[in-house]
Amino acid sequence: MKKVVLLIIGIGITMTSLIGQQLPLLQQQIEHRNPAFIPANFQKYNYSTQVSLGYNTQWVGLEDAPRTLSGDFTNWSEEFNLLFGGNIIHDETGPTQYTGLSGKIAYGIQISNDFLLTAGLKGGVVQYRIQGDKLDFLDPGDFTESGASKLYPDLSLGTMLYFQDKYYVGFSVPQIFGLNLGFKEETGDYNIQRARHYYGIAGARFELFEASWLDLSSEVQFLPEAPIYFSGNLAFDFREIFWTTASYSTANHLRFGGGIFGNLGGNWLSVGYIFSHFFQSYGPFYGGTHELRVSYSWN
């Protein structure tokens, strides 16, 4: 028990210095940021396997705004305390494109009847591409007129601590290598640089009545020499009929949405939509963000 207390304190201290990763924005997917996270459907409804497909479009109305398409597979084996899965993601923002393919694996250590600690690793490869025909500020003849692409390794680490299948805290470092990627030729060069970011999450799940759940969660994101970002989220599932969610952050970012559940021969289908908007009092107006997600879960 002493080791458990020390572990919780250690994670809590670590979480005081966390923030957002420069990843494509995906509103509903903690799994993208922490490879040790066990899908909520297992703890709520005992579904061990989940596949999902999501599409996100940001800053509607802005030319060349970001668009993201992703697909995920996750399986959690309670018998072996083993989590594994894979992810494919494609993101387009103006003249740049990002495509990633990765797999993940995590192992759970049953510290006691109440505490489960999971540690996970996610690895893969990403391709960055530049569409030269969309870069009109360069001199004629620059290499970007025909475009360029490069492959880059991707590695993420994460850990989660669960208590009584209700409460959890976690810490993760996506894209642990960071990124300092350059395209160079005799006629010019183009550089992409990303700093390493850190994430912390904490939450709790409560069954209010039969097959109806209330989820409370929060996320802290940290980047050195940048303001700490904090968000709080509230979600409610009603009798496997519908779900709704809402959140707010220190960046004046409001997010809300909902969806429906469907029972397909004992398996579970979820279809949902989320809208988000920044209500900052400074800077230009970029419009709202829309996300559609479909997931299918089974034992």
Task: Tell me if 111 sits within 8 A of 117, measured CB to CB.
Answer: yes
- Cα(256)–Cα(235) distance, integer angstroms: 9
Whether the CA torsion 64, 156, 11, 116 is positive or negative: it is positive
Residue 261: is its pLDDT beyond 80?
yes
Residue 125 has pLDDT above 70, yes or no: yes
Per-residue three-class SS string for the chain: CHHHHHHHHHHHHHHHHCCCCCCCCCCCCHHHCCCCCCCHHHHHHCCCEEEEEEEEECCCCCCCCCEEEEEEEEEEECCCCEEEEEEEEEEEECCEEEEEEEEEEEEEEECCCCEEEEEEEEEEEEEEEECHHHCCCCCCCCHHHCCEEEEEEEEEEEEEEEECCCEEEEEEECCCCCEEEEEEECCEEEEEEECCCEEEEEEEEEEEECCEEEEEEEEEEECCCCCCEEEEEEEEEECCCEEEEEEEECCCEEEEEEEEEEEECCEEEEEEEEEEEECCCCCCCCCCEEEEEEEEEEC
pLDDT of 20 > 90? The answer is: no
Distance CA 206, CA 265 (A): 26
| pLDDT for res 283 | 55
Of all residues in the chain, the percent with pLDDT exceeding 70 is 77
Residue 227, token pair as written in the block: 């303001």
Q: Place 185 in a pLDDT band, splitting at 50, 70 and 90.
A: low
pLDDT at 275: 94
Weakest-pLDDT range from 39-48, 65-74, 180-189, 258-267: 180-189
CB-based burial label for 29 (10 Å; 0-12, 13-18, 19+) = buried
Write the CA distances from 298 to 5, 29, 65, 238, integer angstroms: 35, 18, 35, 19
Per-residue pLDDT, 30: 81
Q: Please report, for the domain that includes residue 105, its CATH number.
A: 2.40.160.40
What is the sign, positive or negative, of the torsion defined by CA atoms of 154, 275, 228, 95? Answer: positive
Q: How confident is the model at residue 26 (pLDDT cuts 50, 70, 90)?
A: very low
Predicted confidence at residue 280, as pLDDT, reads 67
Least confident of 8-22, 114-128, 222-236: 8-22
Burial (0-12, 13-18, 19+ Cβ within 10 Å), 23:
buried
Distance CA 128, CA 175 (A): 14
**pLDDT tens readout for residues 158-184:** 999 999 989 999 999 987 876 666 656
Residue 12's pLDDT is 37
As a whole number of angstroms, the distance between CA 53 and CA 28 comes to 11
- Considering only residues 94 and 15, tell me which one the structure prediction assigns the higher pLDDT: 94
pLDDT, position 162: 97
Torsions phi, psi of 44, nearest 5? -85, -50
Of the candidate ranges 6-20, 114-128, 230-244, the one whose mean pLDDT is the lowest: 6-20
Q: What range does the domain containing 93 cover?
A: 2-298
pLDDT score of 39 more than 50? yes
pLDDT at 224: 79
Give the pLDDT band (50/70/90) at residue 139: low
Residue 268 scores a pLDDT above 70: yes
Please give the tally of structural domains in the chain.
Answer: 1
Alpha-carbon span 64 to 70, nearest angstrom: 19
Nearest 5°: the CA angle 193, 32, 148 is 35
Q: Given pLDDT bands bounded at 50, 70 and 90, which one contains residue 65?
A: confident
